[in-house]
Amino acid sequence: MRTLEAVEPGTTVRVTKIGGERSLRQRIMEMGITRGVEVYVRKVAPLGDPFEISVRGYDLSLRKNDAELIEVADIGGFEGRRSRRFERNKKRGKARWGRFSWRQRAATSSGTADDTSISSSNTSKGRTQQ
């Protein structure tokens, strides 16, 4: 199982489990990091720690020690491997779609991108992780 600490910046993942002792876990959950929520790892601080993540519509700073307690699962396909450069190129019409399947490309370009791409990627790969 991957933990949040091992996720590379620019990736969205889904939380599967939160470990740690009771008050620690409670704190993390109260800030919105619960089972099943999507977390986007935005960047790492200049000195290597802490992380900046986006969850439930806001940005949060989380130490590596605490991130180690959060087990995550990759979101397959488009959402998971979304990166800044890809986004920028998409805007400029220069996006490289090599990694993604035709269904995902179609979903994105139709404009109702995000919701349909998740469901389509999930159905195409089968919902392996929840």
Partner 1 sequence: MTITIALVGNPNSGKTTLFNALTGSNQYVGNWPGVTVEKKEGRLKLGCLKLDSSQSATAQTILNKHDEVIITDLPGIYSLSPYTEKEKIARDYLAGWLAGERLTSRPNTSTGKTANRSSDNPASRPDLILNIVDGTNLERNLYLTTQLVELGIPMVVAVNMMDFVEKSGKTVNAQQLGIDLGCPVIEISALKGTGISELMLTAVVASEQAPPVPQHSFSGIVEHTLAHIEEAALHSMPEEKQRWYAVKLFERDEETIERLKISAGLIKHIEQDIKRCEKQLDDDSMSIITHERYAYIDCVVNGCCTVRKPHESTFSNRIDRVVTNRYAALPIFALVMALLFLLAVTLVGAATNAVLNTGIANSWQEATRDFLVSINCADWLQGLILNGIFAGVGAVLSYVPQLLALFLLLAFLESCGYMARVAFILDRLFRRFGLSGKSFVPFLIGAGCGVTGIMAANSIENERDRKMTIITTTFVPCSAKLPIIALIASALFGGAWWVAPSAYFVGIAAIVCSGIILKKTRLFAGETTPFVMELPPYQLPSILAMLRSMGERGWSFIKNAGTIILLASIVVWFTSNFGWDNAGRFGMVAMGDSMLAAVGSAIAWIFAPLGWGDWRSAVAAVAGLLGKENIVSTFAVLYNFGEAADVIGGIDAAGKAGAVLAESSTGTGATGTVSPLAASYTALSAYSFLIFNLLCAPCVAAMSTIWREMKSAAWFWLAVGYQCGFAYVVALCFYQIGSLFAGGSYDLWTGIAVALLVFLLLLLVRPNPKVKQEKQED
Q: Binding residues for partner 1, per CB under 8 A?
A: 12, 18, 22-32, 34-35, 37-40, 42-50, 52, 54-63, 65-66, 79, 82, 114
Helix/strand/coil (H/E/C) assignment for every residue in the chain: CEEHHHCCCCCEEEEEEECCCHHHHHHHHHCCCCCCCEEEEEEECCCCCCEEEEECCEEEEECHHHHCCEEEEECCHHHHCCCHHHHHHHHHCCCCCCCCCHHHHHHHHCCCHHHHHHHHHHHHHCCCCC
Residue number with CB closer to partner 1 (47 or 126): 47
| Closest distance to partner 1 from the beta carbon of 7 (Å) | 12
| Closest distance to partner 1 from the beta carbon of 75 (Å) | 10
Residue number with CB closer to partner 1 (30 or 126): 30
| Closest distance to partner 1 from the beta carbon of 109 (Å) | 17
Residue number with CB closer to partner 1 (6 or 31): 31
